[in-house]
A = this chain, B = another copy of it.
């Protein structure tokens, strides 16, 4: 029954993520807030990111880098990373359900969820 409690800090952090299209890290978010003149305590950033993630308002992305990134798109989708410039983009083409069910058969797991990180070269890097 817990209703959502969007404090000023949480709202500000959510807005930064919604306005960013590069999947910012916690450090990126802190920096952008500081630039806008509204900086919060270090721990508040992490607390809020967890709160927003748990509330389903953002998604935490673990793409194999050292820091987590955050994404305002919460619908089912995957990500692709450019090895050359580091750019992260959304992948909306859906993973075939048929493949997932074959994995379930192979492993005898009940599969809840699949996270795919593709690596490659983006168009602008490739053209150089």
Report chain B residues within 8 Å CB of A91. 103, 106-107
- Report the minimum CB–CB distance from A76 to chain B (whole Å): 13
Report chain B residues within 8 Å CB of A64. 62, 115
Q: Quick one: copies of this chain in the complex? A: 2
* A118 to B102 alpha-carbon distance, docked (Å): 12
**B104 and A120 form a contact (CB under 8 A):** yes
How many chain A residues touch B (Cβ–Cβ < 8 Å)? 36
A57 interface hit (Cβ, 8 Å): no
A100 interface hit (Cβ, 8 Å): yes
Q: A80-B111, A109-B123, A111-B118 are in contact. List 7 more A-B contacts (CB 8 A).
A: A83-B112, A95-B99, A99-B99, A109-B120, A114-B119, A115-B116, A115-B119
